[in-house]
Amino acid sequence: MHTLRELEQLAAQIRTCRKCPLGRSRTHAVPGEGPANAEMMFIGEAPGYYEDQQGRPFVGASGRLLERLLAIIGLAREDVYITNVVKCRPPGNRDPLPAEIEACRPWLHQQIALIDPLVIVTLGRFSMAQFLPAHARITRVHGKPVVQQDGRVVVPMFHPAAALRNPNWMQSMESDFAQLPQLLEEMRHQRQNQNDDPPQQLSLF
Ligand code: URA
């Protein structure tokens, strides 16, 4: 089946999901949005107030920052896939609970499998924790690409809301973003060659 159709079917399932209590308190679930064949995927934490109202990811202040950072590297939000670890808003914007993250995890993993992005950018520690070991600290590892078993690369970054509060983290986010085009180019090469050559080391590591 066509990826777009499968992704739409998945989004429809997410919109009616009742696997955790957030399914009862949400206004709208927020499955995510972007091209079905996106090369880059951004994964945030959970929808906030505006996202819950509109059913779309990153439409508030954090979303405006994300759009500004994407523009620095010549991209628009329509060029990338944007989603969250948890698809429904935790009441009062509290942190998502472990059980909510666990219940939502299969949705995220199905999205990744369908879209098959080359680069995943995690925004904030909850998203980072889906891919990096529990001891990883975002202040140390942000901006450092980590190759996953499936050959994809994950780049942990601060959450835009954190960068909006802290000018140092804003600077870090800008320089972390600036590396993305080169990393993407390397990953394109890697994928192109993966059937012909043995796995190559990325020069960024
Ligand atoms: N913060 C997130 O983590 N995700 C959103 O969609 C919006 C704000």
For the chain, which residues score pLDDT lower than 70? Answer: 1, 195-205
The pLDDT, as a whole number, for residue 104 is 98
The pLDDT, as a whole number, for residue 197 is 59
The pLDDT, as a whole number, for residue 142 is 98
Instruction: Tell me, in angstroms, the distance from the centre of ligand 1 to residue 194's CA.
Output: 34
Mutate to test the pocket of ligand 1, among 30, 50, 51, 85 (most ligand atoms within 8 A of CB): 51
Cβ contact 130:105 at 8 Å: yes
Instruction: Tell me, in angstroms, the distance from the centre of ligand 1 to residue 47's CA.
Output: 5
Three-state SS string over 83-137 comes to EECCCCCCHHHCCCCHHHHHHHHHHHHHHHHHHCCCEEEEECHHHHCCCCCCCCC
Cβ contact 204:176 at 8 Å: no
Whole-model pTM above 0.85? yes
User: What mean pLDDT, rounded, does the chain reach?
Assistant: 95
pLDDT tens-digit profile of 113-171? 999 999 999 999 999 999 999 999 999 999 999 999 888 999 999 999 999 999 999 99
The pLDDT, as a whole number, for residue 151 is 84
Mutate to test the pocket of ligand 1, among 30, 43, 45 (most ligand atoms within 8 A of CB): 45
For the chain, which residues make up each domain, given as ranges? 2-192
The pLDDT, as a whole number, for residue 205 is 43
Q: Which of these, 59, 1, 50, lies nearest to 28 by C-alpha position?
A: 50
Instruction: Choose the CATH number for 2-192 among 3.40.470.10, 3.40.50.280, 3.40.640.10, 3.40.50.300.
Output: 3.40.470.10
